[in-house]
Structure 1
């Protein structure tokens, strides 16, 4: 008889496999240090894992858990930001060394730099990042901090990783300048949302391998008010999934993360929604594997 494990994703339905037997490696990163408005993202990973126990293994199209889901211990996020990023990079590199797929759960968006550094440290040199977000995150630094949720994509660009942004609707002039400097491609919310755009066509010269980073505030607050920096005019539920799938059909998804979820006490719908969103992203990856 299956014994429920509260510490693993979908632990009500599956046993924790051996790391080498699972494609998806859940990496909880409960880091919350540079948030600039509402808090709570540090509680995001545990709340999503807990809510995942209410999921069905069949996501209406397939059963992503058939490829194996291994939930790793949470990354140590104590200490200075530079050390935290190194810890995240080391954990990411370990997953990649096994030939598996990192699935990060944050935590604030600054942690994506640690994940990307892990890819670079593991020898990945030709991949791009696609970002769903309300914010461009392209500042040189924010409130004096380089490892900030508002500057994480600047670090990605400075590392030479191509970037495509979706759903942005809050940015400053410095970030518009950075888009030009680093040749960032984008379709902002005012293009996507009123026109209900469900798919994009990546440029021919965009890398064949893609890491997808999804800041939950990229979705509209009517869907997920459970985030520290909500901005009206965001993506809907199906639009988000369809945009992700349009990328998965064109490119190889080599990993993804879901960030900036801040649970609201007593509102379990949002925790369940975040868990379901993460699992549905796994399903899209499963069904589009080349």
Structure 2
């Protein structure tokens, strides 16, 4: 097996060649943005680590070959500019993917990245969609440490845009965020219900939009699975529960994109890099199979 030759190799490059953009359904967008992390750092290294580890994956994900739909790896978003410009850069890159008829698979980076992705989806013409979020934190503060573009405020920016939100696995939030949930009608099933009861599937409300963007913060999963994140919180989802919850959403709604946020590699512990890469590919596979079953 060949080894990656750059910091941002193509996803699954040991098995597939980089296709033309118009020949690929999944467009992997690396966004190495890290500005407002409030505990451990390293999320800017996440996209590169995931791409490099993907060279160790098999084409067959256990049930299908997601790569058969084509996987195109985009150039990383320029994150050297102001936070506002980074958000605009992410939005422009996301809108470009959607306008090519492809699905954005975004690798962060801190969770602020998702705000740019959502702006891009709106700019590309998606007016009626919801967000399903797996996370340890509600991220519904209006600002954190005075910054409205904080990773702790990303979901508040989204609900302020009028986008319906369903939160899964939350187990760290403040009174302000509880009030925002009530104010904006945020749906939720928190970790203290999901994990002890081993809930593997959810039923989305009848009025939840038919299209869904899924955002997965690595810290939504338990630190026993992923200690490689900036703000780990015990009591999170396990590997299979996470996959099954995603699949339950994908079976009910059309997934229009997803992201993997807040992965912070731990030097020398390649198992977590591989796990984050495999998680990305598994979500592609679930999306592929549920869409095929629906068509």
TM-score class, shorter: over 0.9
Q: In angstroms, what is the RMSD of aligned CA positions?
A: 1.3
Shift of 1:167: 0.1
CA shift digits 1:19-46 (9 cap, x unpaired): 0000000000000000000000000000
Q: Which residue of 2 aligns with 1:188?
A: 190
Q: Which residue of 2 aligns with 1:208?
A: 210
Measured in 2, the distance between the counterparts of 1:215 and 1:127 equals 19
Deviates more, 1:187-196 or 1:120-129: 120-129
Shift of 1:121: 1.0
Does the C-alpha gap of structure 1 residues 4 and 108 become closer, same or farther in structure 2, counting only changes over 3 Å?
Answer: closer
CA shift digits 1:172-228 (9 cap, x unpaired): 000000000110000000010000000000000000000000000000000000000
Measured in 1, the distance between the counterparts of 2:100 and 2:179 equals 39
Q: Which residue of 2 aligns with 1:242?
A: 244
Counting only pairs closer than 5 Å after superposition, residues 25-44 of structure 1 correspond to structure 2 as 25-44=27-46
Contact kept, 8 Å, 1:226 with 1:270, in 2: the verdict is yes
After superposing on structure 2, the runs of 4+ consecutive aligned residues of structure 1 that deviate more than 6 Å are 2-5
Contact kept, 8 Å, 1:221 with 1:234, in 2: the verdict is yes
Structure 1 portions without partners, runs of 5+: none
Contact kept, 8 Å, 2:4 with 2:52, in 1: the verdict is no
Contact kept, 8 Å, 1:140 with 1:154, in 2: the verdict is yes
Helix, strand or coil at the partner of 1:129: strand
Shift of 1:124: 1.0
**TM-score under structure 1 length normalisation:** 0.98
The count of corresponding residues between Structure 1 and Structure 2 is 290
CA shift digits 1:224-258 (9 cap, x unpaired): 00000000000000000000000000000000000
Measured in 2, the distance between the counterparts of 1:245 and 1:278 equals 13
Measured in 1, the distance between the counterparts of 2:3 and 2:204 equals 44
Shift of 1:122: 1.2
Counting only pairs closer than 5 Å after superposition, residues 214-229 of structure 1 correspond to structure 2 as 214-229=216-231
Counting only pairs closer than 5 Å after superposition, residues 75-224 of structure 1 correspond to structure 2 as 75-224=77-226
